Amino acid sequence: MDLIPAPVSSVRLPDQDFPLDRTTTLTAPPELAGAERWLRSSLTAATGLPLAPGRPGEGVELLLDATLAAEAYRLSVRPGHAVVTAGGPAGALWGAQTLRRLLGPDAYRRAPLRPSGWVLPGLDLTDAPRFGWRGVLLDVARHFLPKSDVLRFVDQLSAHKLNVLHLHLTDDQGWRVEIKRYPGLTERASWRERSMVGFRSAQRRDDRPHGGFYTQDDLREIVAYAAERAVTVVPEIDLPGHTQAAVAAYPELGNTDVVDTGALGVWTDWGVTENVLNPSEATLRFFEGVLEEVLEIFPSEFVHLGGDECPKEQWKASAAAQARIRELGLSNEDELQSHIIRHFDRWLAERGRRLIGWDEILEGGLAPGAAVSSWRGYNGGIAAARAGHDVVMCPEQHVYLDHRQAAGEREPIPVGFVRTLEDVYRFEPVPAQLDEEAARRVIGTQANLWSEFMDSARDIDYRAFPRLAAFAEVAWSALPADPAARDWAGFERRMAGHLEVLDALGVEYRPADGPHPWQTRPGVVGRPIDGPPPAV
């Protein structure tokens, strides 16, 4: 069976197939009840088979082996007995996902197409991930995505053994998380009057109000749903830049001695605005209040606080900000931003959490316990890893999947670097310049989907897939470190079968021969910024 992502090893045993029928059982110990529940629900819906609980040693069985790593598993299929042996609940879920894939594309449907003919191929398989952080950023701030579509996206991640959903909840263009002590963040900051169409084409507006937000219970539901599928949701609350929506709701958060913050609205442009938070103690207290509620919703070890693209012009012009720099004994505005990041690094650490931010948090001095999302190429991640900080590699030149998948005017809003399916497959997260000790600091990798040009689940499908399947293999499988040595022809062959899985899941991926007709939008201009990725 051609699997994506590829397992560590797999041996096909042609005479050991296991046909499933209405007497086939599914059994698991209490520790693996979540994976058992997910597998029964998924397979019963697709096959119509009841998969009732049975006795150990028969049917489909999930077992626990504490000698395995938490996400590792073994899968053995023999006539009458298929066993997933896992190191923990996550490993059991990944083994269950592989078992589902072995039944073919129709196992991904929500209703049975046939009453019989479900066969698990005989095999012995061992598997474990290369990286512990296999993430995807979903930007719901620029364009709000309804909860049902977020849950559907979680299913897509889990099916590809991706285990982190980085949920970008706040930005200049919208605030998407309910904070009960600050109701203005959803009453005022969650809606903008209109949106820009295309990139750097300010004369084009759709003139439709856009917005929405998730209640705290919505987010708890997303977190719980993801956890059932071995996916951790990491929230991002941007600061001190990318905060105009918050300032529009609470003008005192802005630099009031420089700009009339009371006149600001939720931003209707893309790009980077100069309207950033003021650095006062009152602002820090405000965001501590925000984060107190965020921590109650999200149990993740990491909390992402952005820290990127914070223009310093208002701080330079603000007498209050300059007084703050002197009061704190800082040298410049970069150190002022670092002070804010360090403050929240300590604040999170006191509550048993860890801060992660974009690589700009290196500027002015990196907070001691902070981890870095390296997006501006590899250099930030290299510097952070060498300094002993954990790193998630997500360079925009390689894994920003909102960027176009081919050259030419047919691509919708052709912004960014051209990165084909093969380009993503040949992405290597660990730079060769790192020695063995520093390389261990690369805890994972992440693909990012920024939503300026994606206003629906259909758009997300088109830009994410099939490239996200290639990224999943990069993040999970033990591929050669030399991208040129990877078996692209073999992956391309396996992808042909995997497209049938995406079809069954209802994913509107980009066809190999070009965009869907609905994705062709004449007159919507982009700004190609193509160029070669920086050398690793």
Catalytically active residues are 171, 242, 309
Q: Could you tell me the two tokens for 169? A: 């909840």
**Residue among 403, 503, 494 at smallest CA distance from 2:** 494
State CA 107 to chain mean position distance: 25
Name every residue whose Cβ is closer than 8 Å to that of residue 88 and which is 6 or more positions away in sequence. 64, 68, 70, 71
Q: How many CB atoms lie within 10 A of CB 69?
A: 14
With tokens 């590792």, the residue in question is 72
How many whole angstroms separate alpha carbon 495 and alpha carbon 32?
31
Distance of CA 160 to the CA centre of its chain: 12
Asked whether the beta carbons of 281 and 244 are under 8 A apart, the reply is no
Q: Which residue has the tokens 């925009």?
A: 396
Q: What letter represents residue 164's amino acid?
A: V
Strands (E) located in 298-397: 302-306, 354-358, 371-374, 391-393
Q: Tell which phi-psi region holds residue 365, choosing left (phi > 0), alpha (psi between -120 and 50) or beta.
A: left
Which residue in 224, 220, 232, 97 sits closest to 164, CA to CA? 232
Q: What is d(CA 83, CA 77) in angstroms, rounded to the nearest whole number?
A: 6
**Residues in Cβ contact with 517 at an 8 Å cutoff, skipping those fewer than 6 apart:** none
Upstream peptide bond of 466 is cis (omega within 30 degrees of 0): yes
- Identify each DSSP E strand in 330-485 by its residue range: 354-358, 371-374, 391-393, 442-449
| Continuous H helices in 184-329 | 184-187, 216-228, 244-249, 281-297, 313-317, 319-328
Q: Are strands 9-12 and 123-127 parallel, antiparallel or unpaired?
A: antiparallel
| Residues 510/464, Cβ–Cβ less than 8 Å | no
H or E stretch at 84: strand 81-86
First vs last C-alpha separation in the chain: 34
Q: Which residues pair with 86 in a beta bridge?
A: 64, 73
Give the closest residue to 495 by CA, choosing from 511, 475, 506: 511
